[in-house]
Amino acid sequence: MASSMRSLLSDHRRYFEAFRSFLSNSTEHQCMQEFMDKQLPGIIARIGDAKSEIKILSIGGGAGEMDLQILSKFRARYPGVPIINEVIEPSAEQITKYKELVAKTSNLENIKFVWHKETSSEYQNRVMEKKEIQKWDFIHMIQMLYYVKDIPATLKFFHSLLATNAKILIILASGNSGWGKLWKKYGPRLPRNDLCLYITSSHLTQILDNLGIKYECYDLLSTMDITDCFIEGNENGELLWDFLTETCNFTATAPPGLKAEIMKDLQEPELSIRKEGKVLFNSSMSFIVIEP
């Protein structure tokens, strides 16, 4: 029965297992790396001009892999300039992994790390209560807006924190990806969690337009190998099913008809391509750069 399904976010251990499976089967990090190498240096070219230090705010920094990539570009562009890197991350487990990564990474001199175990809304409330508005030179939100309840208010708040020449970088699912089509069709039949919104760049750019906020949007192709999803009882496939549907133990709890419908759609050209015997889900991403 559908009522036995529950959100993947209700089980943090299962969520991180599914997330790790997604990362190992997708080109997401390679796609982000391509953006960091080719686009980011130009985007940050003027951010630190005439500044004695650069202040970076990471919202939902996770385990820090992408944060350190971003920091490496700043160090290359502004050698010797001190950097303050504050991280907002609600998961204690992820913060621990982030700290471990920093401890074993060289060339991080001149960078001060500060971690806060809180959500973006908790950070916002804390700042507003203290009335100590800190301006930032670069704010990034990587794959985290799905977990924000009031996106327009969140964007307005962080936009108000931008210093001179500052930028906000947002990374999330492209409106042209398979995610958008999957969520639109099946979202109402999957377990909803008020901590997870089915949002893509199409929704986000509409919100930014309504707010009158200037931005640029870059789309890059990314794929996820979901071949194992079509092998009955495959452990990796089970985790990928969970991540695709945001449902804990989806194959064990979903009505057979629902799984069959999604399985059929996952093989359609609108959602996936076939290449060398593999089924590759379109998990393309959008990189949205916001200006003051």
Burial of 268 (0-12, 13-18, 19+ CB in 10 A): exposed
- Residues belonging to the binding site are 60, 89, 94, 120, 142
**Per-residue b/e over 7-36, b at no fewer than 16 CB within 10 Å?**
bbbeeeebbebbbebbeebbbbeebbeebb
HEC profile for the chain?
CHHHCCEHHHCHHHHHHHHHHHHHHECHHHHHHHHHHHCHHHHCCCCCCCCCCEEEEEECCCCCHHHHHHHHHHHHHCCCCCEEEEEECCCHHHHHHHHHHHHCCCCCCCEEEEEECCCHHHHHHHHHHHCCCCCEEEEEEECCHHHCCCHHHHHHHHHCCEEEEEEEEEEEECCCCHHHHHHHHHHHHCCCCCCCCCCCHHHHHHHHHHHCCCEEEEEECCEEECHHHHCCCCHHHHHHHHHHHCECCHHHHCCHHHHHHHHHHHCCCCCEEEECCEEEEECCEEEEEECC
- Residues belonging to the binding site for S-adenosyl-L-methionine are 60, 89, 94, 120, 142
